[in-house]
């Protein structure tokens, strides 16, 4: 059994949805494009799963957050794909790929051939077993990557009202889940090994602000240690957690947010890899000229900083997807990708954005006892990164513009005094 499509998108997440929209803008014909996804639903805005989806009141549900609403574009419902002659092959896992023969094999035994392949397989969560702890299959242990995970999390949260949750991990998934659990009236203890939360991005001073805020909301934060083992009752449900520092916590549910791993195994040995991802050029083209890689699995050149990075962030997924489609459909006029790294998160009443690079000397600014503050990063005398909590749209536009210019900074004191005015004035 076999089918042929001119364009195949492997993976049905954020990047797939944005790529599909771009294909239609560029004039793809009926029946030329398919999306193969092991999820059961059309592409959606994955960040909604840890935000609107977990709200206690009026939670977001599909079809509300199908792509591409997250970038104020059209909402691509299943009907939209039908109307545009795009085949959605859902609930179908690709189990092997042959990039030389340009074909994919699905778990249902179907061979799908292509002229151009866009790999958009995203990432999978790291399981407890990968850090030597048993329990992933327990009914009250939750992860958060896809709709099925989020649905389980909501069901368990509803059953645990007033109970105790442990959140393992202090990254953005842990932080966003902890906030949602509190809003759902669950007592939360966060446990993570670092000395402060979101250590890969935040400075200790900024992290302290968020930790204090969380503690005021009732979150108990235990830092500098990790989960050692889970304790189960006779039905296999988790009832307790032993920490490496010897503490024991009684728990009714567990949320694990210990990181993600890119889904690239189908292509190992066939394509060139770098920094854990599929290496692509500034057209998102891999070492095989018929194969493009986008989103969480792509390691792409960051012109602004002169290196290659793999970013697990939604903005990068949207923009790399668009770039790949432009490069395939209009190769002669598609300029090189020039991406400014951008991350964001929203929890409780807080909201931050980060642009650029968090390397070099840090200069904090703003009112850390209020609601608007941030930090600049200056590397080799150039302003390369900016984090801002509580900004407005105009602030973020100004920051993005200025970080792209990488202005020279001679006086750190002045930068600190000027604060946000520095970027507005450039």
Residues that bind ligand FDA (CB under 6 A): 11-16, 36-39, 46-47, 49-50, 93-94, 120-123, 144-146, 173, 263, 295-296, 312-315, 317, 343-345
CB of 101 to ligand FDA, least distance (A): 18
Partners of 307 in beta bridges = 302
8 Å CB contact between 178 and 214: yes
354 vs 365, which CB is nearer to ligand FDA?
354
CB of 75 to ligand FDA, least distance (A): 16
Q: How far are the Cα atoms of 181, 364, 375 from residue 356, in angstroms, in the given order?
A: 31, 16, 12
CB of 414 to ligand FDA, least distance (A): 31
3-state secondary structure (DSSP) of residue 78:
helix
Look-up of token digits 């602004």 = 304
13 vs 419, which CB is nearer to ligand FDA?
13
203 vs 264, which CB is nearer to ligand FDA?
264
178 vs 363, which CB is nearer to ligand FDA?
178
Rounded Cα gap, residues 157 and 332, in angstroms? 52
Please report the DSSP string for 167-196 in residue order.
Answer: EE--SHHHHHHHHHHHHTT-EEEEEESSSS
CB of 130 to ligand FDA, least distance (A): 17
88 vs 230, which CB is nearer to ligand FDA?
88
265 vs 421, which CB is nearer to ligand FDA?
265
54 vs 249, which CB is nearer to ligand FDA?
54
123 vs 363, which CB is nearer to ligand FDA?
123
Rounded Cα gap, residues 346 and 21, in angstroms? 26
8 Å CB contact between 284 and 337: yes
In what helix (H) or strand (E) does residue 34 lie, and over which residues does it extend?
Answer: strand 33-36
CB of 128 to ligand FDA, least distance (A): 17
Q: Which of 76, 93, 84, 68 is CA-nearest to residue 27?
A: 84
CB of 223 to ligand FDA, least distance (A): 22
3-state secondary structure (DSSP) of residue 274:
strand
CB of 243 to ligand FDA, least distance (A): 25
The length of the chain is 426
- Tell me the two tokens of residue 184: 């759902």
| Residue least distant from ligand FDA (Cβ) | 13
Partners of 232 in beta bridges = 238
CB of 224 to ligand FDA, least distance (A): 25
Q: How far are the Cα atoms of 4, 20, 34, 204 from residue 31, in angstroms, in the given order?
A: 10, 13, 8, 52
């Amino acid at each position: 059994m076999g089918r042929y499509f001119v364009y195949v998108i492997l993976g049905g997440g954020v990047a797939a949805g944005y790529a599909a929209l771009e294909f239609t803008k560029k004039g793809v014909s009926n029946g030329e494009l398919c999306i193969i996804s092991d999820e059961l639903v059309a592409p959606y805005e994955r960040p909604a799963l840890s935000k609107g989806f977990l709200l206690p009141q009026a939670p977001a549900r599909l079809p509300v957050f199908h792509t591409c609403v997250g970038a104020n574009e059209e909402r691509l419902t299943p009907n939209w794909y039908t109307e545009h002659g795009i085949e959605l092959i859902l609930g179908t896992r690709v189990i092997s790929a042959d990039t030389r023969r340009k074909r994919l094999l699905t778990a249902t035994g179907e061979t799908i051939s292509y002229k151009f392949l866009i790999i958009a397989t995203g990432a999978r969560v790291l399981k407890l077993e990968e850090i030597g702890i048993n329990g992933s299959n327990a009914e009250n242990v939750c992860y958060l990557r896809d709709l099925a995970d989020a649905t389980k999390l909501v069901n368990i949260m509803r059953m645990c009202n007033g109970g105790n949750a442990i959140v393992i991990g202090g990254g953005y998934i842990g932080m966003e889940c902890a906030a949602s659990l509190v809003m759902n009236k669950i007592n939360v203890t966060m446990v993570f090994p670092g000395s402060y939360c979101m250590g890969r991005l935040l400075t200790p001073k900024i992290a302290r602000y968020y930790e204090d805020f969380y503690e005021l909301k009732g979150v108990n934060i235990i830092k500098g240690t990790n989960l050692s083992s889970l304790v189960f009752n006779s039905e296999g449900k988790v009832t307790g957690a032993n920490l490496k520092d010897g503490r024991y916590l009684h728990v009714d549910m567990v949320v694990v947010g210990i990181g993600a791993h890119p889904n690239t195994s189908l292509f190992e040995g066939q394509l060139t890899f770098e920094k854990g991802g599929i290496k692509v050029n500034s057209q998102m083209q891999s070492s095989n000229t018929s194969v493009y890689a986008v989103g969480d699995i792509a390691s792409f050149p960051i012109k602004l900083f002169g290196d290659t990075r793999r970013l697990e962030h939604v903005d990068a997924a949207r923009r790399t997807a668009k770039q790949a489609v432009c490069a395939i459909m209009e190769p002669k006029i598609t300029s090189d990708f020039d991406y400014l790294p951008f991350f964001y998160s929203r929890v409780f009443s807080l909201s931050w954005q980060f642009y650029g690079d968090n390397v070099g000397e840090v200069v904090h600014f703003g009112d850390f006892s209020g609601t608007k503050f941030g930090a600049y990063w200056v590397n080799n005398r150039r302003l390369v990164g900016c984090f801002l909590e509580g900004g407005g749209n105009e602030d973020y536009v100004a920051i993005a513009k200025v970080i792209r210019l990488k202005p020279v900074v001679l006086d750190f004191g002045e930068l600190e005094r000027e604060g946000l005015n520095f970027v507005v004035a450039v």
